[in-house]
Amino acid sequence: TKTETLPLSERREHQYFMHMALSLALRGTGFVSPNPRVGCVVVREGKVVGWGYHRRYGGPHAEVEALRRAGTLAEGSTVYVNLEPCSHQGKTPPCAPQLVEARVARAVVGMRDPNPRVDGRGIDLLRDAGIEVLESVLPEEARWINRGFIRRMTRGRPWVTLKGALSLDGTTALESGESRWITGPLARDKAHLLRGEHDAILVGVGTVLLDDPELTVRSVEGVCPRRVVLDGALRTPQTAKVLASGGCTFFTEQDMPQGAGQRLEERGAEICRVPRGPEGGLSLVPVLEHLASAGINTLLVEGGARVAGSFLREKLVDEVSLFLAPKLLGRGLQLGESWGLEHLDQGFDLRSCRIRQAGEDLWLEGVPTCS
Ligand code: AOF
Ligand code: ZN
């Protein structure tokens, strides 16, 4: 069934309940990765009779939670779910056959599951069982909340968000490296929220040596992402704060001698070797592929300026989140330090920009036109 052909009132009703499913899905943030965020609402005669969301990795899927709450009221109902119900045996039994068994009348789905083990089979299974399936209700929203999962499933890489804090004249640190603090406390809280929405945070070793960041979520609620450091020569000291809570991955160059990272491994770190790229820095694509294979859907690149420049140069940035402080700081390190263009049309244009205020600072989020 095509949604465009439906009467407006019916279309609105589908969107209304799909919004509900999407909001529920968001409640899984920080707990479900590498799985997608999924929410589900069971509706009968315009009333919600069941709801659920995927709460934690390995736990029941959204549909199962919602059907459990609906009980026998699921019969003849319409089930709204932002992702196609699964057809495969994973950590839990497949959802689509359970919808059939509950005798629901109709399923309204936000998007197909890009997981090759599902990829339309869930929808086929429902249709074969005589359940009406309406696809692509709020598809942009459905794709947006699971952009990391989709990126990993379809491209074998995480979704990369570049975060920066800069003055109005584009300076992200002074030449001395001093950068604390360019933005105000509210913007810094927002940046912590951003951390909690990603599976991993990445910085270069320069930032570790200079700022000794913890890279944890503080002052706001959120789950701490995995910490990732690009450290070609393994210069991170054993006392670095990034090592404090375990779960830290170091990428170093391929021919680092065996045992070179032992001091870091003793602190619970994982060492991965990757080749160097033509520019002399570590090759970023193998870094991203490794992270994706470890189940990282979303990566926040936090600095410093040179790392940001490499990601921009290699066109590996899927989204930016920039905090602009109402300050002029003059010459210093620019956000894309080391990234130089010959022509304006090689620049990085943003679309779907969202501009908000965070205290005194401007907060600008957008995706490049090519993404
Ligand atoms: C759904 N509903 O709530 C979720 C789905 O190992 P499992 O059993 O948890 O399966 C994980 C896969 O199931 C995941 O890769 C994705 O394809 C799908 N996620 N599907 O029907 C849900 N979280
Ligand atoms: Zn499922």
Looking at residue 336, its pLDDT comes to 85
Distance 86 CA to ligand 1 centre (A): 6
Return the sign of the alpha-carbon dihedral for residues 304, 161, 246, 254.
negative
The residue with greater pLDDT, 128 or 368, is 128
316: Cβ contacts below 8 Å, ≥ 6 apart: 157, 160, 284, 285, 288
What band does 371 get if pLDDT is binned at 50, 70 and 90? low
pTM: 0.95
Ligand 1 atom at minimal distance to the Cα of residue 113: 17
Q: What is the pLDDT of residue 282?
A: 96
Res 342: pLDDT: 92
Can you give the pLDDT at residue 1?
A: 58
Q: Is the CB of 33 under 6 A from ligand 1?
A: no
Give nearest CA residue, ligand 1 atom 14: 35
State yes or no: 304 annotated in a binding site.
Answer: yes
Average pLDDT in the 83-94 region?
Answer: 95
* Predicted local confidence at residue 64, as pLDDT: 98
Please check if 72 is assigned to a binding site: no
* Percentage of the chain modeled with pLDDT above 70: 99
* Band of residue 246 on the pLDDT scale cut at 50, 70, 90: confident
Q: Give this complex's ipTM.
A: 0.91
H helices present in the chain, as ranges: 8-26, 62-70, 96-101, 121-128, 139-145, 147-155, 185-196, 205-211, 262-265, 284-293, 305-313
Between the CA of 11 and the centroid of ligand 2 the distance, in Å, is: 25
Taking residues 19-48, report their average pLDDT. Answer: 97
pLDDT, tens only, 7-21: 999 999 999 999 999
The response to whether residue 114 sits with its C-beta less than 6 Å from ligand 1 reads no
